[in-house]
Amino acid sequence: MSELFKDLFKKAQYITIPDSIKNLPDSKKKSKEEVSSEPKIVCTKCKKEVAPDKYAVALRVCPHCGAHARLNARDRIAMTVDEGSFEELFSEITSANPLEFEGYTEKVEKLRSQTRLNEAVVTGRARIHGEACMLAVMDSTFMMASMGSAVGEKLTRLFEAATVERLPVVIFTASGGARMHEGTLSLMQMAKVSAAVGLHSDAGLLYITVLCDPTTGGVVASFAMLGDVILSEPKALIGFAGRRVIEGTIGKKLPEDFQSAEFQLEHGFVDAIVPRAELPEKIALIIGLSKGGEAR
Amino acid sequence: MSEKQTVDALTKFTLSRHKDRPGVRDYVSHIFTDVLELHGDRSFGDDPAMYTAIARLEGIPVTVIGHVKGHTVQANIASNFGMAHPEGYRKAMRQMKQAEKFGRPIITFVDTPGADCGVGAEERGQGLAIAENLRDMMGLRVPIISTVIGEGGSGGALGIACANRVLMLENATYSVISPRGFASILWKDPTREKEAAQTLRMTADDLLALGIIDEVIPEPEGGAHLDHIAAADVLKVNILKNLSDLLEKDKEMIYNERYEKFRKMGQYKIIE
Ligand SMILES: [Zn+2]
């Protein structure tokens, strides 16, 4: 387990706080004075100002329009898993620079120190409302959570480990797609991870994806759409091709809600849209109802 | 050979998209016998950008799949320039599952700038269609041989290329994005196309070195477009050679070897 998660989850000195904010990371539990000195938060969707404390309590959900702000992996894990239950796996894996693309190594190094993550996905073992699972959370602050060899390898290992241990897999997706800097090797990760999804599925095991804003490109065209159950956060952008690419192809503007979670639900590609606050409970419910699978 | 290797990546990319370059239908007519084209995904429609057929290869029953490009503007419009829709990927998978049922090896021909990027494709689940093909192809218990004959454009190409053996014609290219797209996104300068093609390592020789493909198939002098029959003859010999090798293996070995082959792809670093 990395240092980062050690100090985040192994602490026992939690005070009594309301259930709704119990799973928030320490960074969000600020005193009144600290809150008032913080910079103003503006909702990226409705552009209205949000009081920081309110925003934190609402799991970073805008109280005006209900927009779900993008979360980093740390915050997501903290608000999803049972306290102290997260054990990070495969954190030692990070990107190489197979195409010797100028600036890529430096970019990854810089992001590693900025985000204190080694890659764009965090993988590990967890419990969600008491249900054991293998968990992956993509972090869009790390190169738009694009999938290169390291992300592909971590996810493949997670599915393989879950198959051996007969555990469900839960993935919170958020990604710009394949990582261009690794060329065709990134493309191949789509096949590699999808094969591991198939292996896990053939063992009669459950896979849940939670599509978060934004889930696009090669991630949509591989593991994101392969969940037995596909949930989405409200208003998340979910699509294969980029909006500008499509607009360029058809020569006109697309409607605002094109490729939204609601659009995908309407077209039959998402099982349910679940507000952030209800996700852990719904995930646990699905796991609890899906334990009768047998190997093919 | 050595002379040809000096051809730069962008020139190869241009050659890989040459309008006279043999397409799936050209290869099929030279390589297979008893060919019966089969249409439709049994759900939405028939995608003219995706060819599916049953046929014989030197007497062996096979299923043939491939992206369709045309040699004329009209033919290209009719086949959407080889950019398949979700129903195309579903049509291919329907035939691949049937191939498994009847023990037919699958031979695919990859030739696409990418999957279709339109409104209809999004509405009908382009991402899901490709994703399912990746997962399900990787799970098939019959031998699959794919050849990148022209342009191997990203997920749209991979959607029919999860094979036990991936061959590539000498002047074909295979990439996550076009050189122009790469230059626009990473350098904000689409004019650096030539440099991008080089950096992407998208040629057959590059991809062989990266462990992404298994064999480079030589083309007639000057390129496959100059002699369709000669190109098809060489490809046929190489497909047959790989097929006879794969036919020696039992179903589980076919599955396992394909899984392991893709499992090894990627280069990453271990820290600490
Ligand atoms: Zn708002």
DSSP line for A130-193: TEEEEEEEE-TTTGGG-B-HHHHHHHHHHHHHHHHHT--EEEEEEE-SB-GGGHHHHHHHHHHH
Task: For domain B4-263, give the fold.
Answer: 2-enoyl-CoA Hydratase; Chain A, domain 1 (3.90.226)
Other CB atoms within 10 A of residue B215 CB: 14
Chain A partners of B185 at a C-beta cutoff of 8 Å? 180
* Contact (CB<8Å) B119/A118: no
Q: How far is the CA of A54 from the centre of ligand 1 (A)?
A: 12
Band of pLDDT at residue A296, cut at 50, 70 and 90: confident
Q: Are B174 and B211 in contact (CB under 8 A)?
A: no
Residue B264's Cβ-count burial label (10 Å; 0-12, 13-18, 19+) is exposed
Band of pLDDT at residue A28, cut at 50, 70 and 90: very low
Q: Which of A117-121, A240-244, B28-32, B44-48 is the least confident region?
A: A240-244
Q: pLDDT by residue (tens digit) across A203-225?
A: 999 999 999 999 999 999 999 99
* Contact (CB<8Å) B127/A224: yes
Closest CB from B128, B139, B176 relative to A183: B176
Q: Are B69 and B82 in contact (CB under 8 A)?
A: yes
What is the pLDDT at residue A57?
81
What is the pLDDT at residue A55?
83
Residue B117 has pLDDT above 70, yes or no: yes
Complex prediction ipTM: 0.97
Distance from CA of A76 to the nearest CA of B (A): 24
Closest CB from A93, A198, A259 relative to B138: A198
What is the pLDDT at residue A40?
79
**How far is it, in rounded angstroms, from Cα B80 to Cα B74?**
10
Show me where the domains of chain B are located: 4-263
Residue A106's Cβ-count burial label (10 Å; 0-12, 13-18, 19+) is exposed
What's CA B56's distance to the chain center, in Å?
A: 20
pTM beyond 0.80: yes
Q: pLDDT by residue (tens digit) across B8-62?
A: 999 999 999 999 999 999 999 999 999 999 999 999 999 999 999 999 999 999 9
Q: Which of A2-6, A28-32, B154-158, B219-223 is the least confident region?
A: A28-32
Band of pLDDT at residue A165, cut at 50, 70 and 90: very high
Average pLDDT across chain A, whole number: 88
Average pLDDT across chain B, whole number: 96
What is the pLDDT at residue A37?
55
Structural domains of chain A ordered from first start: 1-68 (no CATH), 70-288 (3.90.226.10)
Q: How far is the CA of A53 from the centre of ligand 1 (A)?
A: 15
User: What is the rounded radius of gyration, in angstroms, for the C-alpha atoms of chain B?
Assistant: 18
Q: What b-and-e string marks burial along A155-176, b requiring 16 or more CB atoms within 10 Å of the CB?
A: bbbbbebbbeeebbbbbbbbbb
Q: Which of A32-41, A107-116, A276-285 is the least confident region?
A: A32-41
What is the pLDDT at residue A38?
59
What is the pLDDT at residue A176?
96
Mean pLDDT, residues A166-189 taken together: 98
Chain B partners of A148 at a C-beta cutoff of 8 Å? 266, 268
Q: Give me the residues of B, 156-175, that contact A with CB < 8 A.
A: 158-159, 162, 174-175
Q: pLDDT by residue (tens digit) across B93-111?
A: 999 999 999 999 999 999 9
Q: Rounded to 10 degrees, what is the CA torsion of A13, A19, A25, A26?
A: -50
Question: Chain A contact for B185, CB < 8 A?
Answer: yes
